[in-house]
């Protein structure tokens, strides 16, 4: 994701770092380089002009006169400007006071609406919501089947109905009310280009459904086309937010960096792959850090620190350094992590983490209770040294905790995964200039 942009910015940071102080000439040179990088990344020229102007002004202005090194100051300025460009605040979807919350997805053909509909349903499910999917695409014969297949995959009902799309969508709302489902996601038909038929159909749907959120789904790889089309959709439908899909294949990032500035609407989610789990909530500050080559380690650090008290993290750090994590630690971690939300979102922030394929490591309440009972049924020795747990010990632990040996195995497997993770964390290098920059 955004490799080209990242490489460009990392080179600039390196260049500025080598300079003794910020002068008019090296700021000019750095800014010239930024201009080239942004244009090559297909960022809108108006955005580039604004970005360059503000960065130059700040870099040459009074703000520079601090005790930081020029590299730090300049990087911080670029970081702030990137955050500004990406939207500063992360935006959440609106929730209806009387359920269901209706979210309508619009966008051109092939932009990823249907895929995103399923990803969003899963996202809601993971947050204890009960979503329903409905498609108003009656033009493409396979559209309905595609959604049904995805719905089945994640266990979300797909409402089907007659050919009248307005009636179908409204019936879907009734279905949600009747069955106490609190979220309705409406997938719509895309066209190759913006045309009057599609726009008036969407306008009509909006009138009938009164959706709480209209999300414009754009293929991030299409760069400025995505930005221009977003503008057109916004004019007619007044969208609430933007979803950029296929960011996994977008090395340039032109759409990501221009769309907020040009349309005034924020990016809410990004799609990072074809699979259902390949979805990220969009955080401008984290994205800016990513672009500047700092990975999301800073985000990780913030999140972890907010929950773990200093003493605890010091203790954990020592254990991680020594590579000694016991099952007691594991249990403590589970409880701490539970407070932080889905554990995957934490793992996703670790650069290169997807390699470990540990997506299924989520903590839910029931599982936590079970894991607790299992670990508490172990002897002190077993907890300190889980590798001694053999078949008969497993049986005894299962009996003692009212679970099965398979449950015991699951807890142990997750524990070993955590051990593996801490080993990989140990290898991560935290850039030394983080704290200096106030990140």
Ligand X SMILES: Nc1nc2c(ncn2[C@@H]2O[C@H](COP(=O)(O)OP(=O)(O)OP(=O)(O)O)[C@@H](O)[C@H]2O)c(=O)[nH]1
User: Applying CB under 6 A, which residues contact ligand X?
Assistant: 107, 109-115, 137, 140, 143, 190, 245-246, 248-249, 271-274, 278
Partner from Mg ion, ligand X, none binding residue 281, C-beta < 5-8 Å depending on class = none
Nearer to ligand X, 133 or 294 (CB): 133
* Least distance CB 187 / Mg ion (angstroms): 6
Report CA-CA distances (Å) from 125 to 129, 184, 421. Answer: 5, 12, 26
Nearer to Mg ion, 58 or 113 (CB): 113
Distance CA 18, CA 84 (A): 26
- Residue pair 154/117 in contact by the 8 Å Cβ criterion: no
Residues 6+ apart with CB under 8 A from 66: 73
* Least distance CB 51 / ligand X (angstroms): 26
* Least distance CB 189 / Mg ion (angstroms): 7
Nearer to Mg ion, 8 or 107 (CB): 107
DSSP assignment of 95-155: --SSSPEEEEEE-STTSSHHHHHHHHHHHHHTTT--EEEEE---SSHHHHHHHHHHHHHHT
* Least distance CB 178 / ligand X (angstroms): 27
Partner from ligand X, Mg ion, none binding residue 284, C-beta < 5-8 Å depending on class = none
Nearer to Mg ion, 117 or 408 (CB): 117
- In a 3-state reduction of DSSP, which class is residue 350? coil
x/- site string to Mg ion, residues 74 to 113, per CB under 5 A? ---------------------------------------x
Nearer to ligand X, 58 or 113 (CB): 113
- In a 3-state reduction of DSSP, which class is residue 210? coil
* Least distance CB 112 / Mg ion (angstroms): 8
| Helices and strands of the chain, counted as H and E runs | 19, 8
- Residue pair 117/187 in contact by the 8 Å Cβ criterion: yes
Partner from ligand X, Mg ion, none binding residue 53, C-beta < 5-8 Å depending on class = none
Dihedral sign for Cα 334, 336, 338, 344, please: negative
Phi, psi of 327 (to 5 degrees): -65, -30
Nearer to ligand X, 277 or 431 (CB): 277
* Least distance CB 187 / ligand X (angstroms): 7
* Least distance CB 120 / ligand X (angstroms): 12
Q: In terms of C-beta density within 10 A (0-12 exposed, 13-18 middle, 19 or more buried), how is residue 352 classed?
A: exposed
The answer to whether the peptide bond before residue 100 is cis (omega within 30 degrees of 0) is yes
Name the closest residue to Mg ion (Cβ).
114
Choose the binding region for Mg ion from 114-122, 157-165, 316-324, 403-411 (rule: CB under 5 A).
Answer: 114-122
Partner from ligand X, Mg ion, none binding residue 273, C-beta < 5-8 Å depending on class = ligand X
Partner from Mg ion, ligand X, none binding residue 110, C-beta < 5-8 Å depending on class = ligand X
* Least distance CB 137 / ligand X (angstroms): 6
Nearer to ligand X, 188 or 258 (CB): 188
* Least distance CB 383 / Mg ion (angstroms): 50
Query: Is residue 263 near Mg ion by the rule CB under 5 A?
Result: no
Nearer to Mg ion, 115 or 403 (CB): 115
Nearer to ligand X, 112 or 386 (CB): 112
Query: Is residue 114 near Mg ion by the rule CB under 5 A?
Result: yes
Structure token pair of residue 172: 């879907």
Partner from Mg ion, ligand X, none binding residue 246, C-beta < 5-8 Å depending on class = ligand X
Helix axes 196-209, 224-237, angle to 10 degrees: 50
Phi, psi of 15 (to 5 degrees): -60, -45
Q: How many residues bind to Mg ion according to rule CB under 5 A?
A: 2
User: Which among 104, 206, 197, 187 is positioned nearest to 143, based on CA atoms?
Assistant: 187
Helix axes 70-86, 45-60, angle to 10 degrees: 150
Phi, psi of 376 (to 5 degrees): -70, -15
Report CA-CA distances (Å) from 103 to 109, 168, 283. Answer: 18, 15, 20
Partner from ligand X, Mg ion, none binding residue 401, C-beta < 5-8 Å depending on class = none
Q: Hey, which residues between 332 and 351 contact Mg ion (CB under 5 A)?
A: none
Structure token pair of residue 396: 């005894």
Adjacent-strand bridge partners of 244? 218, 270
Nearer to Mg ion, 144 or 228 (CB): 144
Partner from Mg ion, ligand X, none binding residue 241, C-beta < 5-8 Å depending on class = none
* Least distance CB 114 / Mg ion (angstroms): 3
* Contact positions vs Mg ion (CB under 5 A): 113-114
């Amino acid at each position: 994701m955004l490799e080209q942009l990242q490489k460009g910015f990392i080179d600039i940071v390196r260049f500025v770092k080598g300079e003794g102080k910020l002068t008019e000439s090296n700021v000019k040179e750095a800014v010239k380089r930024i201009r080239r990088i942004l244009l090559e990344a297909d960022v809108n020229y108006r955005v580039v002009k604004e970005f360059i102007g503000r960065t130059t002004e700040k870099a040459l202005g009074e703000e520079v006169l601090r005790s930081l090194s020029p590299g730090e100051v300049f990087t911080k300025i670029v970081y702030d400007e990137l955050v500004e460009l990406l939207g500063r605040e992360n935006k959440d979807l609106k929730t209806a006071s009387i359920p269901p919350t209706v979210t309508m997805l619009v966008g051109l053909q092939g932009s990823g609406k249907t895929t995103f509909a399923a990803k969003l349903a899963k996202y809601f499910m993971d947050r204890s919501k009960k979503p329903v999917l409905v498609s108003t695409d009656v033009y493409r014969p396979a559209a309905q089947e595609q959604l049904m297949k995805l719905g089945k995959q994640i266990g979300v009902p797909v409402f089907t109905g007659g050919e009248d799309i307005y009636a179908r969508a409204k019936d879907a709302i009734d279905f949600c009310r009747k069955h106490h489902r609190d979220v309705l996601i409406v997938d719509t038909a895309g066209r190759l280009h913006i045309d009057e038929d599609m726009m008036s159909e969407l306008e009509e749907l909006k009138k009938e459904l009164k959706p709480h959120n209209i999300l414009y789904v754009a293929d991030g790889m299409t760069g400025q086309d995505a930005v221009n089309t977003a503008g057109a959709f916004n004019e007619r439908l007044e969208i609430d937010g933007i979803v950029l899909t296929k960011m996994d294949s977008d090395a340039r990032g032109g759409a990501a960096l221009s769309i907020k500035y040009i349309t005034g609407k924020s990016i809410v989610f990004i799609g990072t792959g074809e699979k259902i789990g390949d979805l990220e909530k969009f955080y401008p500050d984290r994205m800016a850090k990513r672009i500047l080559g700092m990975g999301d380690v800073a985000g990780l650090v913030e999140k972890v620190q907010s929950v773990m008290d200093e003493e605890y993290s010091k203790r954990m750090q020592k254990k991680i350094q020594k590579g000694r994590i016991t099952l007691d630690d594991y249990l403590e971690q589970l409880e701490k992590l539970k407070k932080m939300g889905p554990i995957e979102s934490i793992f996703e922030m670790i650069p290169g983490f997807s390699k470990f394929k540990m997506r299924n490591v989520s903590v839910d309440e029931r599982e936590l209770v079970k894991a607790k009972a299992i670990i508490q049924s172990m002897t002190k020795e077993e907890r300190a040294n889980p590798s001694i747990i053999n078949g008969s010990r497993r049986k005894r632990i299962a009996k003692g905790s009212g679970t099965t040996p398979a449950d015991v195995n699951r807890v142990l497997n997750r524990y070993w995964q955590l051990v593996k993770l801490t080993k990989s964390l140990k290898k991560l290098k935290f850039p030394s200039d983080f704290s200096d920059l106030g990140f």
